[in-house]
Amino acid sequence: MISPLPHIDAMAPYALATIGDGHMVSMAQNESAFPPSPYAIAAGQSQLSAATAYPDPDWTALRLAIAETHDVTPETILCGTGSMELIGCLIHAFAGPGRDVLGTEYGYAFVATATAQAQAKYLCAREVDLTVNIDRVLDQVTNTTRIVFICNPGNPTGTMIANSEILRLRDALPEDTLLVVDQAYGEFGDGDQDPRQIFALADRGNTVILRTFSKAYALAGLRAGWGVFPPAIGAQLRKLLNPNNISVVTQAMAAAAIRDQSHLQKIVADTATIRDRFAANCRELGLFVPVSKTNFILIRFASAAAAQHADSHLRTAGFQMRGMGGYGLDDCLRATICADEIMDSCFTVLKEACR
Ligand SMILES: *Cc1c(COP(=O)(O)O)cnc(C)c1O
């Protein structure tokens, strides 16, 4: 028998949403309700015949597009096959035995998985009212905490904390503790607070900010994420990234997508309108829905049994939401916002299930 490393053997496989048979409406993975920019599609098609060559290992055109959009220096940007690759490499570079990772109660599940891969200990700070609480995070920091992960806006809660709270956390953390701000849903909250305040934290040398093309840019299938990294941290990460990570087609599509900010703004605005109406309808049914700044909402039912009842009702009708048992929220379902008509028919089924 070939024996695996004990810490790998002890890991459970990462639990993605159970995908239906293709006839279900997918509301389980926070994919976009809307198609990507037509310029992205055109850019991808025009690059298909360039696939003979390896991709640009420095993502030059993509970095420039990101840098110009967000007013950051291109050299500080690194790109990954989804932000998952960047999260995994950060943990492998800076955490390990005796070097702990601290997340929050409802933080992104993949962080705990990557921590286990690195044989590091994962700890989490309680949240308050389904919202990250900086005082509780600070309470959990010890002298073995090496990385703190804050997801803002949060997944699966959808809630967002003020930039000033992130700044307060950074000021209070030890200088040699790496802070990672995961803004996978950042574009949905950018209208509320100035994102440059957070990107500027990379200048301090100990903070990384992550974003992705998977959510608001509607390109989850491409696998492209990016982040702003202090140079010394970026240099370490480069050693762990696959040197040819992002395909020729993906780089071209992502660059075209981020240059089309008017398309992005329309997706963000339309998603918010549909989301807020669906959330208001759910609240009228007596369900608890925290205020979301993302493309999904968390729906809390009266009990785990009520959530399960609604879930099976919804599945029978072809709507696949995400059960939240893995997050200790077994009385909740998370619903990705889809097109208007879908949300309307979904709500009809939900209403029926809640009677
Ligand atoms: C979707 C998501 C990501 C990243 O996904 P990629 O597709 O790998 O870029 C990261 N963090 C959170 C919280 C997410 O929801």
The identity of residue 288, as a single letter, is F
Q: Is 207 in the pocket of ligand 1 (CB under 6 A)?
A: no
pLDDT score, position 20 = 61
Q: Ligand 1 atom 1: the closest Cα is on which residue?
A: 184
As a whole number, mean pLDDT of residues 301-324 equals 96
> Does the pLDDT of residue 258 top 90, yes or no?
yes
3-state DSSP: the chain helix, strand, coil percent, rounded to 5? 45, 15, 40
Q: Is 214 in the pocket of ligand 1 (CB under 6 A)?
A: yes
pLDDT score, position 333 = 98
Percent of the chain with pLDDT over 70: 99
> Does the pLDDT of residue 18 top 80, yes or no?
no
> Does the pLDDT of residue 114 top 80, yes or no?
yes
Q: Is 320 in the pocket of ligand 1 (CB under 6 A)?
A: no
Q: Is 184 in the pocket of ligand 1 (CB under 6 A)?
A: yes
Percent of the chain with pLDDT over 90: 95
As a whole number, mean pLDDT of residues 21-32 equals 89
Q: Ligand 1 atom 2: the closest Cα is on which residue?
A: 184
pLDDT score, position 214 = 98
Q: Hey, what are 315's tokens?
A: 């599945």
> Does the pLDDT of residue 197 top 80, yes or no?
yes
Distance 214 CA to ligand 1 centre (A): 7
pLDDT score, position 1 = 84
- The answer to which of 4-8, 97-101, 256-260 has the lowest mean pLDDT is 4-8
pLDDT score, position 161 = 98
296 has which bridge partners? 336
Q: Is 177 in the pocket of ligand 1 (CB under 6 A)?
A: no
Nearest to 217 by CA among 240, 190, 237, 179: 190
Q: Ligand 1 atom 14: the closest Cα is on which residue?
A: 184
What mean pLDDT is reported for the chain?
96
Q: Ligand 1 atom 8: the closest Cα is on which residue?
A: 82
Distance 3 CA to ligand 1 centre (A): 32
Strand spans (E) along the chain:
25-26, 77-80, 100-104, 122-125, 145-151, 178-182, 207-212, 225-228, 296-300, 319-320, 322-323, 332-336
Q: Ligand 1 test: best mutation among 90, 212, 337, most atoms within 8 Å of CB?
A: 212
Q: How confident is the model at residue 23 (pLDDT cuts 50, 70, 90)?
A: confident
CA distance 311 to 303: 12
Q: Express each pLDDT in 139-173 by its tens digit.
A: 999 999 999 999 999 999 999 999 999 999 999 99
Q: Ligand 1 atom 11: the closest Cα is on which residue?
A: 184
Atom of ligand 1 nearest to the CA of 83: 9
pLDDT score, position 21 = 66
As a whole number, mean pLDDT of residues 308-323 equals 96
Q: Is 111 in the pocket of ligand 1 (CB under 6 A)?
A: no
> Does the pLDDT of residue 17 top 80, yes or no?
no
